[in-house]
Structure 1
């Protein structure tokens, strides 16, 4: 059974060179320049959406906890 080159990788005579530290930092800075940062309005909107979601999930889990707690007390007599 033979493996494809995509899985096995190249086994030619070339050696894999490591990137130097200055080149690495230049590449990191170049990638960070491509990042699109949200505007303040988008940031506020995302914050509100996340907070509402967290509050809804807290209420849901609290209701489940309360319901299961009451069920356990009814089953085992509390």
Structure 2
């Protein structure tokens, strides 16, 4: 750590102890909201066609996974039925 950054950090520590609890709370909340707004400005929102494409991909993927899990479930239930009863239902 450089001398400048060490002084800066010690200054912050001293500053955080100054003031009453309420002013520190509102200062912290204000900083939090400012940071949220700064991050929200960086967000890139999808266009309409991109949104439709992404939604379609997700829905198709979920349907494929549901079909796979249903197939495995049906197969395993038939296998277990055959193993315990000797007949496939």
Measured against the shorter chain, the TM-score band is: 0.7 to 0.9
Q: Which has the higher contact order (CA 8 A, sep 6+)?
A: 2
Residues 1:34 and 2:42 aligned together:
yes
In structure 2, the gaps of 5 or more residues are 17-23
Higher helix share: 2
Q: What SS does the corresponding residue of 2:33 show, helix, strand or coil?
A: helix
RMSD between superposed Cα atoms in Å: 2.5
Count of matched residue pairs:
68
Q: How far apart are the structure 2 equivalents of 1:22 and 1:72?
A: 60
Tell me by how many angstroms 1:27 deviates: 2.1
Task: Specify the SS of the correspondent of 2:46.
Answer: coil
Higher Rg: 2
After the TM superposition, which parts of structure 1 deviate over 6 Å for at least 4 consecutive aligned residues? none
TM-score (norm 2): 0.65
Q: Residues 1-78 of structure 1 correspond to what in structure 2 (within 5 A)?
A: 14=10, 15=13, 17=16, 20-77=28-85
Find the residue that maps to 1:20 and give its secondary structure: helix
How far apart are 1:73 and its partner, in Å? Answer: 0.9
